[in-house]
Amino acid sequence: MGIAKYLKKGRIRINPNDKCIELVDDNSVLQYEQISSSDWGYIYEKYVGQILEDEGWLVDYNGLKLGFKDNGIDLIATKSDTINFIQCKFKKSIISKNQIEWILYKASKKLYDAYANKSNKLIFTLIVNDKDVNFSKKKPKTFSLVFTEISKVQYPILQYFLDHNYIQDKVKLECREIRMQK
């Protein structure tokens, strides 16, 4: 069974002690050695979605439904008058400026379409497992921030992403850290 099909079956629980993922509803177990390194992104999407559901969001698992055709939107979470478009990154490496630009570019059509039909507050959130791992604290050599003074920035590339709030005000940009122990 493919990982997406497995994850669609219900709530999961990550069990790092036994190195497995448990499907809560039917007590099935998927051992870590059965999981490819590329599948961890889908697992992280499911994990993040469950946390958002626990916070009261209604979550559409766009990435699990559409795979690579998700247009850069892994999750669509709605609550009250807010729609939150979410890109999850479960990486053990630094996210570069080029990757940030790709994330924004890839999601832009979906965000634009949502804005064109705007009746809700729109948010685009980048969710990462660990800011210290995913964002360097060093300023890249060929880099400038649009509106933020560089000396006050903890993570320059993350700030580059957030500064797009000032460039366009149609969608609020956010970054959130949600840790998943593997």
Q: Where are the domains of the chain?
A: 3-177
- In words, the CATH class of domain 3-177 is alpha beta
Give the DSSP H or E segment for 22: strand 20-23
- Rg value, the chain, Cα: 17
Per-residue confidence in pLDDT tens, the chain, 182 aa: 589 888 999 999 999 999 999 999 888 999 999 999 989 999 999 999 999 999 999 999 999 998 878 888 999 999 999 999 999 999 889 999 899 999 999 998 888 888 877 778 899 999 999 999 999 887 766 555 555 555 567 888 888 888 876 556 678 899 999 999 88
- Listed in sequence order, the DSSP H helices in 9-122 are 40-54, 62-66, 97-116
